[in-house]
Amino acid sequence: MPASPGSADHADATPPGTQPAQTMHKDGPASSGSSPVPPADALLSDAAALAALAQDLRPPSIALDGLFQAIGEAHIYTDAKTAADAIPDEAPADLMAQYNLARQRPDFSLKDFVAQHFTLPERKTVSYQRTPDENVRDYIVGMWEVLSRPPDTQVAYSSQLPLPFTYVVPGGRFSELYYWDSYFTMIGLYENQKIDLMRDMVRDMASMIDRYGHIPNGSRTYYLSRSQAPFFSLMVDLLAMHDGQVAYTTFLPELQAEYDYWMDGQDSVAPGGAYRHVVRLPDGTIMNRHWDDRDTPRDESYPQDIATAAESGRPKNEVYRDLRAGSETGWDFSSRWLADGHTLSTIHTTELLTVELNFLIPHLQQTLAHAYDLKGNKEEAARYAHLAEERINAAQRILWDERRAAYIDYDWKKGESTSILSGATVVPLFLQMATPEQAKAVSETVRKNLLKVGGLIATERTNSGQQWDSPNGWAPLQWMAVKGFNQYGYDQLASDIAARWMGRVIGTYEKSGVLLEKYDVVNPYISPKGGKGGGEYPMQIGFGWTNGTLLGLMNRYPQNTRVVLDRNPAADQPSPLPLPPMNAYGVQSDADALNRYTHQPTVTLAPRPVAPTPTLPQVSSVGASAPTAATEMPPSPAATQETAPADAPATPPAEAPAASATPAEIATPPAQASQPAANAPATPAAQGTTSAAPASAPAASQPAPSTAPEATTPPAAQPAPAAPSSDATAPANQQAAPASPATPPQPAQP
């Protein structure tokens, strides 16, 4: 890896030459996918501070090396993230000079020094007050304004990455844009038809890809060295539900760059090795893991990470890397990542192939296939469709655990399943990538092991102290489970999960007047505080993804909503009409949409230094591998100052994992409809007609009794899906039939 930005030599390095300001043009050429992607660590250097208006992209722990650590050790702030978000009143170099001089005085007070030189950013949610007669829908609508942030004005020396368009933050301590949170928040914006705001959030995500080469965990400098589960392609799906196919062609360059980031190094990783996010198994299969380019304590949890590493008995840098990779999963933290299942210091995230990541990558490939097909690039469309099919087959073979009858994370170092059952088992159903037999098995496993009185628990594990374990339930898991089971015909189970979750969330709102980040779904009694919480920080109020998905479920299940609201009259309000059907590939762009994308303003962005990929050797800390000579580039000054220690290559497992389930074909779920004919998607026309829906898009279902029984046997096999699972919510009983990813989608041109 490149030199650690925390070294003294690096901090004093002379910045390389400047670059012109970046200008984002949406019609620019897409990446070929063959260019090496600079490690995110390359962004975290003095090279970012090139001019007065250029932002210093170093995290506070590096820019304020020594002072930041002292603030953490002294626990100046109750929440360690506050120190990372606090804004210095002068340039880091000047402030450090003052600090080093002041601390020599016998009467020096660190608390007073910090109070004098740092300003805390405003958090709008603390001022929100529920009105006496406010119901839950009013609350959600009101919170969009509270949680929205206007386009950012860059603040000198702040860790916040400025965004050019309006966006919605999760709430509480999370006062910036977060990657995977935003997708589930956007569902609520779609429900409320706040399309302009939803579109702006997609543009903000694209702007970060354009500037930094990827979407960081959140819009802070200290998140730049990692990303989060790649939901950007699903965001484009959701936007296409309103804007039509122009959304795919507009954001094709960013979709390609997102893919290049996650697959960097894939052509040069040796069997049994890993490089950044890519793992090549002993049999040559390419999969993905979570990874962070830095191996130091996280800025937002600095003292906690130091304590965790000290308790581990392992190399500290290894622990820091795994903690950071755990944060990239979005499940920070869970027993899924812990070697012993309960002790945080045993975290080994980088050794795991996770279910959601390895099914989201083929969805991104499917989206690229569709976008390239729209652009008329049939060769690339076919290539990505084939890659998606290969990856789905690999994920089915490696991540399906026949013993648990569920999708389970895979330890690539040991060559075996972790056996930890979690709510992630529903993700392949959500993305329409499970076989009918697997969907049936997952439905039974979830009903038996994960479904509780208030919804689905995150994992079976209890008393771990981690917030992504039992007894907690989380909005994204409920949403993906409901949608996934709907798509495979398990409507009664989907309805049951939705009813239990709505009962828990709305019941808590009745007592507290707020929506929360997570909920205890095991306790039969509803706490106004949501439950014990667990994790690194207190329960947070807001809350973006809870607001968005609750609104989606209330709209999808008006009868269940009616029952819940009757029990909680203060949260009552009549339900709206059902929403349109789900077929993002079949929505055509009207003249207004085309005009909006054609004439959107050009955004001038601050310059981003691009450090080339270092030369060999370049080895990950878990599994040795290095880019081939074909992808080598000359080292940057920063990258040559220190060489990270390389671990020995991982010992390949004795044998490749057996295929416990042959990837089968997705079946068309039983079709049901309660939607007026006017809301149904158009029947596909003959091939070649410009108004026809794409061949690979979900087909419109035929009317059927709205009270059809729960599916108990898988329907007849159909080709595996190519069309993505757009989350614009549809009527409760309307299903979509997946189609094959092997054939490039053929939607009509916008």
Q: Is 517 an active-site residue?
A: yes
Catalytic residue check, 46: no
Task: Please tell me the distance from the alpha carbon of residue 742 to that of residue 388, in angstroms, as a whole number.
Answer: 8
Distances (CA, A) of 415 to 161, 326, 353: 39, 20, 10
Cβ atoms < 10 Å from Cβ of 140:
20
- The one catalytic residue in 332, 409, 491, 510 is 332
| Cβ atoms of residues 325 and 289 within 8 Å | yes
- Which segments of 76-231 does DSSP mark as H helices, in order? 80-85, 92-102, 110-117, 136-147, 179-191, 195-212
Q: Which of 281, 350, 356 is nearest to 322 (CA)?
A: 350
Which residues, including other chains, have CB under 8 Å from residue 120's CB and lie 6 or more apart? 82, 85, 86, 87
Distance CA 739, CA 585 (A): 12
For 276-377, strand residue ranges (E) read 278-280, 286-288, 352-353
62 contacts 7 by C-beta, under 8 angstroms: no
Q: Is 138 helix (H, G, I), strand (E, B) or coil?
A: helix
Tell me the backbone φ, ψ of residue 400, rounded to 5 degrees. Answer: -85, 125
265: left (phi over 0), alpha (psi -120 to 50) or beta: left
CA distance 603 to 210: 11
Q: What is the 3-state secondary structure (H, E, C) of 707-730?
A: CCCCCCCCCCECCCCCCCCCCCCC
> SS3 of 279, please?
strand
Non-local (6+) Cβ contacts of 48 within 8 A are 54, 55, 56, 57, 58, 608, 609
Query: Alpha-carbon distance 579 to 576, whole Å?
Result: 9
Peptide bond between residue 108 and the one before it cis (omega within 30 degrees of 0):
no
Q: Which of 41, 318, 517, 727 is catalytic?
A: 517
Please identify every residue annotated as catalytic: 332, 517
